[in-house]
Structure 1
Amino acid sequence: MDETCQPITLYVDADACPVKPEIYRVAERHGVRVFVVSNAFLMVPQSPLIERVVVSDGFDAADDWIAERAGRGSIVVTADIPLASRCVKAGAEVIGPTGKPFTQASIGMALATRNLMEDLRAMGEVTGGPRPFSPKDRSAFLSALDVAINRLKRAGFGAGVP
C-alpha cells in the first residue's frame, strides 16, 4: 500500500503522560487513531479511535511496543529520550509532553544531556528533577500536536482507522 494512503497513528507513552486528555480531544477532532501504551491498566475514553495497550511490566516493554510500530505517518508522545531517539530514527514525528519536538537535528543533544545528567546522578551529584508541568507547557503541547497532525495531512497521510 502507498504510505500516503495510510492513516495517521498516534502512540502515547502513557504511564507518566500529563497530557492524555488533550491527546484524546485533538485525536477526536482530527479523526486520528491513538494507542495508549502502558505497563498498567489506565482508563481511556470509549471511542473507536482510542485503544488501550497494556504491555508486560518488563523493562522498556512499552517503549519497545511503540518503537516497533512507529514510523512515517505516526506521532509519538513521550518524555523518554531513548524512546524518542528510536522513533525519530524510524521516521516518526516525536513530541514531548511540554510541546518540545524531537527531531533528527535535536535528538543527539537531548541524548547527550540525558546521559550526562544520569552520570552526575550516579556519582551522587544533586541535579534536581524536571521543572513542574505548567499551563504554558500544556498549551505548547497542544500547538505542537496540531502542527504535527497538519504537517502529516499535508504530506498525504489520512485520518481514521485503516
Structure 2
Amino acid sequence: MKVIVDADACPVKEIIVDKCKKYNIKLIFIHSLDHISHQYPLVEKIIVDKGFQSADMAIVNHTEKDDLVITADIGLAALIIGKGAYVLNPWGNFYTPENIDQHLHQRYLNQKILASKGRLKGPSKRKKEDNEKFAHMLVSFIEKYLLNKNVSILEGDFKITKN
C-alpha cells in the first residue's frame, strides 16, 4: 500500500506527511506546475503539465489496488474506486462503491444549478475539528490496514476481513 495525494489544493499535507512517516508508508504528492508547493522530506513528488486533468490522470496511472488516494475530486474518486483502491477526502470521509453514485449525482445537480446561473453555498472555513477528524480517519485506516491487510469501508467505518 502507498498513499497518493491530489496535492494541488490539499489542506492536510502536513498531517499526511506526519502520519505516513510515523508508519513508514510510501507517500506520493502529485500536482501540476501551477501548484508547486513546499518540499517535504521523504515524499515523492510527481509534477505534471498544467493541462486539464493532467494531475488526475497521473494519479489514476500511479494508483494500484489497495492504495489510499486522498482527494476531494469526486470524479477522480470514482475512477480510483474502480481500480480497487481506497479514497479519503480532506474532511475525513471515505468515498466508497456504496456512496460514490450519490456523490456524483449531487455534483451533477450542483453543476446544473451553476450552469443556470444559480448560486451554491461554498465550503465553510476549515476548522481544527476538520483536521482532527481527517487525522483520526487516516490513522485508523492505516493501523487497521497494516494489521489486517484487507479493509472494507462501510459508511465511514471499517469492516475488517481476515485473509
**TM-score range with shorter-chain normalisation?**
0.7 to 0.9
Runs of 4+ in 1 over 2 A off after TM superposition: 154-157
8 A contact 1:76–1:95 mirrored in 2: yes
Give the alignment partner of residue 15 of structure 2, picking from 19, 22, 29: 22
Q: Shift of the alpha carbon at 1:106?
A: 0.9
Give the alignment partner of residue 53 of structure 2, picking from 44, 54, 60: 60
Q: Distance between the aligned counterparts of 1:151 and 1:65, measured in 2?
A: 27
Q: Shift of the alpha carbon at 1:113?
A: 0.4
Q: Distance between the aligned counterparts of 1:61 and 1:54, measured in 2?
A: 9
8 A contact 1:12–1:36 mirrored in 2: yes
Structure 1 segments unaligned to the other structure (5+ residues):
1-7, 158-162
Give the alignment partner of residue 42 of structure 1, picking from 37, 41, 46: 37
Q: Which has the higher strand share?
A: 2
| 1:88 and 2:84 aligned | no
8 A contact 1:93–1:148 mirrored in 2: no
Q: Shift of the alpha carbon at 1:70?
A: 1.6
1:80-159 equivalences in 2 (<5 Å): 80-156=73-149
Q: Distance between the aligned counterparts of 1:9 and 1:78, measured in 2?
A: 14
TM-score (norm 2): 0.86
Q: Secondary structure at the match of 2:30?
A: strand
Deviations 1:108-162 (A, max 9, x none): 10010011101101101111212221111111111111122123213438xxxxx
Q: Secondary structure at the match of 1:127?
A: coil
TM-score (norm 1): 0.86
Structure 2 segments unaligned to the other structure (5+ residues):
151-163
8 A contact 1:42–1:52 mirrored in 2: no
Q: Distance between the aligned counterparts of 1:155 and 1:111, measured in 2?
A: 30
Structure 1 partner of 2:153: none
Structure 2 partner of 1:71: 64
Q: Distance between the aligned counterparts of 1:114 and 1:94, measured in 2?
A: 17
Q: Distance between the aligned counterparts of 1:114 and 1:21, measured in 2?
A: 28
Which amino acid letter does the alignment assign opposite residue 128 of structure 2? P
Q: Distance between the aligned counterparts of 2:44 and 2:145, measured in 1?
A: 21
Q: Which has the higher contact order (CA 8 A, sep 6+)?
A: 1
Q: Distance between the aligned counterparts of 1:134 and 1:89, measured in 2?
A: 31
The RMSD of aligned alpha carbons is 1.3
Q: Secondary structure at the match of 1:79?
A: coil
Aligned length, in residue pairs:
148
Q: Shift of the alpha carbon at 1:42?
A: 1.8
Fraction of identical pairs, as percent: 28
